[in-house]
Homo-oligomer: A and B are copies of this chain.
């Protein structure tokens, strides 16, 4: 898959009163490389409408577009890929439906899950939650930066560190070896979404320079 370092997921509850597509466009202007639509509450039709808006914007900005969970929506809007959790459709079944060309990302919380995803043909994995988070409904215990180190040592497909990553703790994650990070609330809930996104990009660039 196309190289990436900053992955931003929608989180509409973090920006009441602002349109989702405006917030995500600012994140793209600030340098987000991948946008994921995650919406487990709206009707399918509403998710589809949101996906159409993001598909258009991500085309405009040359950004990769991933849909969480809703394979049907991803296919309908021709998203670049889907992201699945451990309780979603199994990777092999999903691959059967979407075909070889769509990206499939898998959330992992333990090294066996990470290795299974790699062996099963995932294009990338999420590794986390690194820190405590209340972004997702079903909260998993944080795995800490030791999991980032373990994945870096033992998995060869791209991994993106996720979960509670903020400007105040991102350096810990980068020092643990993450080269790609996923951010939700700190970016989409920011007063200055574009500026905050740029700050994360700078931290990523700095870590790369030091490496």
Q: Which residues of A contact B (CB under 8 A)?
A: 43-46, 48, 69, 71-73, 75-76, 86-90, 93-94, 96-97
Q: What number of copies of this chain does the assembly contain?
A: 2
**Given the complex, which residues of B lie within 8 Å of A45, measured CB to CB?**
86-90
Q: How far is the CA of A93 from the CA of B96 in the complex (A)?
A: 18
Contact of A71 among B46, B72, B87, B88 (CB under 8 A): B72
Q: Does B88 contact A44, Cβ atoms closer than 8 Å?
A: yes
Q: Does A97 contact B75, Cβ atoms closer than 8 Å?
A: yes
**Given the complex, which residues of B lie within 8 Å of A97, measured CB to CB?**
72, 75-76
Contact of A72 among B43, B87, B93 (CB under 8 A): B93
Q: Does B94 contact A72, Cβ atoms closer than 8 Å?
A: yes
Contact of A73 among B86, B89, B96 (CB under 8 A): B89
**Given the complex, which residues of B lie within 8 Å of A94, measured CB to CB?**
72
**Given the complex, which residues of B lie within 8 Å of A75, measured CB to CB?**
96-97
**Given the complex, which residues of B lie within 8 Å of A48, measured CB to CB?**
89-90, 93
Q: How far is the CA of A97 from the CA of B96 in the complex (A)?
A: 12
Minimum CB–CB distance for A115 against chain B, Å: 19
Question: Which residue from chain B places its CB closest to the CB of A72 in the assembled complex?
Answer: B71
**Given the complex, which residues of B lie within 8 Å of A46, measured CB to CB?**
87
Q: Does A44 contact B87, Cβ atoms closer than 8 Å?
A: yes
Q: A69-B44, A71-B71 are in contact. Are A76 and B96 (CB under 8 A)?
A: yes
Q: Does B76 contact A43, Cβ atoms closer than 8 Å?
A: no
- Give 7 new A-B contacts, CB below 8 A, not counting A45-B89, A46-B87, A76-B89: A44-B89, A45-B88, A48-B93, A71-B71, A72-B72, A72-B93, A73-B89
Minimum CB–CB distance for A7 against chain B, Å: 22
Q: Does B69 contact A89, Cβ atoms closer than 8 Å?
A: no
Minimum CB–CB distance for A89 against chain B, Å: 5
